[in-house]
Amino acid sequence: MLIKKPSDIKPSEITPPKHYKQRRQFIQSGLGLAGAAMVPGLWLPGDAHAAREKLKGVVKSPLSTSEKPTSYKDVTSYNNFYEFGTGKDDPARNAHTLVTKPWTVKVEGEIDKPGDYHLEDLVKASTLEERIYRFRCVEAWSMVIPWVGISLAELIKRFQPTSKAKFVEFTTLYDPKQMPGQKRQVLHWPYVEALRMDEAMNALSILAVGLYGEVLPNQNGAPLRLMVPWKYGFKNIKSIVKIRFTEQMPKTTWALAGPREYGFYANVNPQVNHPRWSQARERVIGSGSLFTRRKKTLMFNGYEEQVAHLYSGMDLKKYF
Ligand code: MTE
Backbone angles phi, psi at 303, to 5 degrees: -110, 30
Backbone angles phi, psi at 201, to 5 degrees: -85, -5
State the DSSP string of 12-58: GGPPPP---B-HHHHHHHT---GGGBPPTT---TTTGGGG--BPSS-
- Mean pLDDT of all residues in the chain? 87
Quickly state the pLDDT bin for 47 (edges 50, 70, 90).
very low
Q: Cβ neighbours of residue 61 under 8 Å, at least 6 residues apart? A: 129, 130, 131
Instruction: Report d(CA 135, CA 144) in Å as an integer.
Output: 6
pLDDT tens across 181-207, in order?
Answer: 999 999 999 999 999 999 999 999 999
Nearest to 193 by CA among 128, 237, 146: 237
- Ligand 1 atom 14 nearest Cα: 234
Query: Which ligand 1 atom sits closest to the C-alpha of 233?
Result: 16
Instruction: Report d(CA 93, CA 23) in Å as an integer.
Output: 9
The CATH architecture annotation of domain 35-255 reads Alpha-Beta Complex (3.90)
**Residue 258 pLDDT:** 96
- Ligand 1 atom 17 nearest Cα: 233
* Burial of 199 per CB tally in 10 Å (0-12, 13-18, 19+): buried
Query: Is beta strand 281-284 parallel, antiparallel or unpaired with respect to 141-151?
Result: parallel
188, 209, 236: residue to mutate for ligand 1 pocket, most atoms within 8 A of CB: 236
Query: Is beta strand 192-196 parallel, antiparallel or unpaired with respect to 214-215?
Result: unpaired
**Residue 39 pLDDT:** 34
Query: Which ligand 1 atom sits closest to the C-alpha of 226?
Result: 10
Task: Indicate whether 23 pLDDT > 70.
Answer: no
Task: Indicate whether 162 pLDDT > 80.
Answer: yes
More confident residue, 240 or 1: 240
Instruction: Report d(CA 129, CA 226) in Å as an integer.
Output: 14
Instruction: Report d(CA 98, CA 279) in Å as an integer.
Output: 33
**Residue 291 pLDDT:** 60
End-to-end CA distance of the chain: 23
169, 186, 207, 234: residue to mutate for ligand 1 pocket, most atoms within 8 A of CB: 234
Instruction: Report d(CA 35, CA 57) in Å as an integer.
Output: 29
Nearest to 35 by CA among 16, 22, 53: 22
74, 80, 170: residue to mutate for ligand 1 pocket, most atoms within 8 A of CB: 80
pTM: 0.86
- Ligand 1 atom 10 nearest Cα: 237
**Protein residues with CB under 6 Å of any ligand 1 atom:** 6, 79-83, 137, 172, 191, 220-221, 233-234, 236-239
Quickly state the pLDDT bin for 48 (edges 50, 70, 90).
very low
**Residue 290 pLDDT:** 59
Backbone angles phi, psi at 120, to 5 degrees: -55, -40
* Residue type at 203 in one-letter notation: A
Query: Is beta strand 167-172 parallel, antiparallel or unpaired with respect to 115-118?
Result: unpaired
Q: Where are the domains of the chain?
A: 35-255
Task: Name which of 20-24, 79-83, 182-186, 218-222 the model is least confident about.
Answer: 20-24
